Amino acid sequence: MAVEAVEAAPEEPVVDSLSLDKYVKVTGTHVRLRHLPSLNSQIYMGANGYPVYPYKGELLKCIGESGDFYMVEYDNRTLYISKQYCVPVY
């Protein structure tokens, strides 16, 4: 039984979109960061027990999306911000 050698096609590079640096720019003031991608989710509070708001124009590292929310890194945590109050920046 003869076995034919088959040349493998070159593999296309796989680009994980989350490995690219993607940021969102906050466009509103007093924008709430949440623990889950829902308006009913708990608001992120600082150590003093008060809500922590990113400032208008601040760039947050975006690590994903879920519905109407971006998943962002903020204060060494994974939180969610409404797409209504920020724009993607690449």
Task: Kindly state the tokens that stand for 55.
Answer: 């400032």
Going from the N-terminus, what domains does the chain have, and what CATH number goes with each?
A: 17-89 (2.30.30.40)
Can you read off the two tokens belonging to residue 50? 């008060």
Residuewise pLDDT in 10s, the chain (90 residues): 555 555 544 444 333 444 567 999 999 999 999 999 999 999 999 999 999 999 999 999 999 999 999 999 999 999 999 999 999 997
pTM of the predicted model, to two decimals? Answer: 0.76
Nearest to 24 by CA among 80, 46, 77: 80
Closest CA to 87 of 50, 49, 59: 59
Spatial separation of the C-alpha atoms in residues 24 and 64, rounded to whole Å: 11
Rg (C-alpha) for the chain, rounded Å, is 20
